[in-house]
Amino acid sequence: MRWRLSLPWPLPALLVWAVAWAAFVLLARLGLPALMAVLLACGVGVAGSVLGRTGWRRVFIGAGFPLSLALSGVAPLQAWHWLLPLALLLLIYPLNAWRDAPLFPTPRNGLRGLGAAVPLPEGAPVLEAGCGLGDGLKALRQVYPAARLHGLEWSWPLRLLCAWRCPWARVRRGDIWRADWRPYQMVYLFQRPESLPRAMTKATAELQPGAWLVSLEFPAVGWVPDAVLQGDRERPVWAYQVPFKPVRVPKSR
């Protein structure tokens, strides 16, 4: 998805809105019922919302077409019909996942050098907690081609798309905070900074000695990393090995 990053804002939104409108006009001319044409065009907008780099931009992209359609008055639909695009957005981005990281994709070479800095034995089980569309799993496969890769994703449409994009990984639907991390020798995540204290607490309680927690871009404040890499120019990689080492605060004299 490297090309996605090269589009300056608001070009991704304008592009998706234009495609959604084109789909709606084409479907209407083909004789499809208005509600069906609207839903399919809204699906185009929701699918294109992955082009947004932040949560609010994704909502802005996904909601742009139905809002502009409602204001235009082109489609004679009942009021409750306009709730359907919102339902589509919630299907892709469940509310309980927004407090973590709503679809932050791992860059193609974002984990470069991790395999050398943190070697794992052949067949080691590795989990991406919150795998989204599978970009993180693809990056993990580059650095750990012999590992047994697992993905966990709450949104079932994203889980299906991830499994399709990463057929060599075991991708399941589930809550990353309720799942058992004990079987894994590494847990990789790209979450909000606010989620990392919870991740460190869970990893401390469940990961076996010698296992790793790896975070892209954001460090776990208060803990000493065992390795810090610059796999991507913009996003460092922070690796912590169990047992984690807390930052020592100098004693005041």
Residues 5-57 pLDDT 10s: 457 777 888 888 889 889 888 988 888 887 788 778 877 877 777 677 666 67
pLDDT at 164: 92
Nearest to 154 by CA among 201, 90, 212: 90
Q: What is the pLDDT at residue 2? A: 39
How far is it, in rounded angstroms, from Cα 74 to Cα 27? 14
* 145-180 pLDDT per residue, tens: 999 999 998 877 778 888 999 999 999 998 899 999
pLDDT for 183-232, tens place per residue? 999 999 998 888 899 999 999 999 999 999 999 989 999 999 999 998 65
Of 185, 226, 188, nearest in space to 209 by CA: 185
Tell me which amino acid residue 16 is. V
pLDDT at 4: 43
**Close Cβ partners of 56 (under 8 Å, ≥ 6 residues apart):** none
For 247, residues 6+ apart whose C-beta sits below 8 A from its C-beta are 222, 223, 224
10 Å CB burial of residue 3 (0-12, 13-18, 19+) is exposed
Question: What pLDDT, on the 0 to 100 scale, is given for residue 34?
Answer: 77
> pLDDT at residue 234 above 80?
no
pLDDT of residue 78: 55
- pLDDT computed for residue 187 by the predictor: 98
pLDDT in tens, 101-155: 545 678 888 999 999 999 999 999 999 998 888 999 999 999 999 999 999 988 7
pLDDT confidence of residue 64: 77
Q: Which domains does the chain have, with CATH numbers?
A: 2-92 (no CATH), 114-246 (3.40.50.150)
